[in-house]
């Protein structure tokens, strides 16, 4: 009897240890936007060190992330193009912003320093429509007096995959150029008139670095990581500005998150003297009644932790952490929307 009690207690202890292990070694998966990948990777590494739990995030582009969360093959999806309320409702999903950043034009031009070259939205639109094809074209030279511009062809580089970065880029170009809006339009994937495709921000960055005379668009963390030559851009107030977290923050300063359906705020071409005009938030997609409630709870714990502990990490990579009042709105939306099959709140 004594032996049986000892064996039983050992079995219970082992079971408890396994249960503890499963709780404290959670592993969840997400997929989508490449725009926020650098900060999600940094947050995930710090979160694992702090909690022992793993966040596996696949940087496959916003289009892929939307498809995978709709198919319920991942625990969360990520997109830089916010979904409309009717699309969220149709799939039983909710979304919330995670961080703010900027999309930046990058070039491969010998003798041009980072931040030296100036661009306007109108000129960028013409380049991406294929109507400005030389670096010494009059349109570029007029806004860059004193800059030595080569008489070489411009090689346009764009995304080849469904991309929220492309949505931010094309949404901006559509706002500043009626011709671009009518011929190319905006979206996560568009029919480009010219250019070479690259998969992910990584692919665009690699192609621009490889091809002399290339121009592309990437999230600013990739500019810093790869020491790329970025350009200034003229904003809505007529000021040529450099990309940095302060100017991305300026773009978000007037956003009304509470009154925007699904919190799907679009930050391109905002007013303000210091505003970076090609700014955007990136978003997380969750099923309101998930197939795996425990994993969704872990996703929420991760982002809750990141909002509370990850601000410095975000600013180090030139992202803008969400304002505290926006974080409170997100927490309220988790509480209101996320439930298990029995209707029990998951946050």
Express each pLDDT in 141-166 by its tens digit: 999 999 999 999 999 999 999 999 99
- pLDDT surpasses 60 at 4: no
How far is CA 177 from each of CA 131, 181, 196, 242, rounded to the nearest angstrom? Answer: 13, 6, 22, 21
* Antiparallel, parallel or unpaired: β 155-159 and 214-219: parallel
Structure confidence at residue 25 (pLDDT): 64
How far is CA 44 from each of CA 41, 57, 214, rounded to the nearest angstrom? Answer: 5, 9, 33
The token duo for 256 is 């009304």
- The Cα–Cα gap between 72 and 91 comes to 10
CB distance 240 to 232 below 8 Å: yes
CB distance 203 to 34 below 8 Å: no
Total Cβ atoms within 10 A of residue 312: 8
Structure confidence at residue 15 (pLDDT): 40
- pLDDT surpasses 90 at 270: yes
- pLDDT surpasses 50 at 23: no
Structure confidence at residue 26 (pLDDT): 77
- pLDDT surpasses 80 at 186: yes
Annotation: CATH topology of 2-100+280-337: D-Maltodextrin-Binding Protein; domain 2 (3.40.190)
For the segment 287-312, what is each residue's pLDDT rounded down to a tens digit? 999 999 999 999 999 999 999 999 99
What's the burial of 202, exposed, middle or buried (CB within 10 Å: 0-12/13-18/19+)?
A: middle
The token duo for 301 is 């714990």
Calculate mean pLDDT across residues 265-272. 96
Torsion of CA 84, 85, 89, 93, to 10 degrees: 70
Calculate mean pLDDT across residues 67-74. 97
The token duo for 101 is 């950043």
Looking at residue 143, what DSSP letter applies?
A: T
What is the percent of the chain where pLDDT is above 90? Answer: 90
For the segment 80-123, what is each residue's pLDDT rounded down to a tens digit? 999 999 999 999 999 999 999 999 999 999 999 999 999 999 99
- Ranges in the chain annotated CATH 3.40.190.10: 2-100+280-337, 103-258
What is the percent of the chain where pLDDT is above 70? Answer: 93
> Considering the domain 103-258 in this protein, what is its CATH number?
3.40.190.10
- pLDDT surpasses 70 at 14: no
């Amino acid at each position: 009897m004594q032996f049986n009690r000892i064996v039983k207690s050992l079995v219970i202890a082992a079971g408890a240890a396994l249960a503890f292990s499963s709780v404290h070694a959670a592993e969840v998966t997400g997929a989508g936007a490449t725009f926020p990948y650098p900060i999600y990777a940094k947050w995930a590494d710090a979160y694992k060190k702090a909690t022992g739990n793993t966040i596996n995030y696949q940087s496959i582009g916003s289009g892929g992330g939307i498809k995978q969360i709709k198919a319920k093959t991942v625990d969360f999806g990520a997109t830089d193009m916010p979904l409309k309320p009717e699309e969220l409702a149709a799939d039983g999903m909710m979304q919330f912003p995670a961080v703010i950043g900027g999309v930046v034009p990058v070039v491969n031009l010998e003798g041009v320093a980072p931040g030296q070259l100036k661009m306007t939205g109108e000129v960028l639109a013409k380049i991406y429509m294929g109507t400005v094809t030389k670096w010494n074209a009059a349109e570029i030279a007029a806004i860059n007096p004193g800059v030595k511009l080569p008489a070489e062809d411009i090689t346009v580089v764009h995304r080849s995959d469904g991309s929220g970065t492309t949505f931010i880029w094309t949404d901006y170009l559509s706002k500043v150029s009626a011709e671009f809006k009518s011929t190319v339009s905006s979206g996560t994937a568009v029919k480009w008139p010219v250019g070479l495709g690259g998969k992910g921000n990584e692919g665009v960055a690699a192609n621009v670095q490889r091809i002399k005379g290339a121009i592309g668009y990437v999230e600013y963390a990739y500019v810093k990581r790869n020491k790329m030559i970025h350009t200034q851009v003229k904003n809505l107030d007529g000021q040529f500005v450099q990309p940095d977290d302060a100017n991305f923050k300026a773009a978000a300063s007037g956003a009304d998150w509470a009154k925007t359906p699904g919190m799907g705020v679009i930050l391109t071409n905002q007013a303000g003297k210091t505003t970076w005009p090609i700014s955007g938030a990136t978003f997380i997609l969750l099923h309101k009644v998930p197939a795996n409630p425990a994993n969704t709870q872990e996703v929420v714990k991760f982002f809750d932790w990141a909002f509370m502990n990850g601000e410095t990490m975000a600013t180090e990579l030139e992202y803008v952490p969400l304002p505290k009042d926006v974080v409170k709105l997100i927490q309220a939306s988790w509480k209101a929307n996320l439930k298990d099959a029995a209707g029990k709140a998951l946050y």
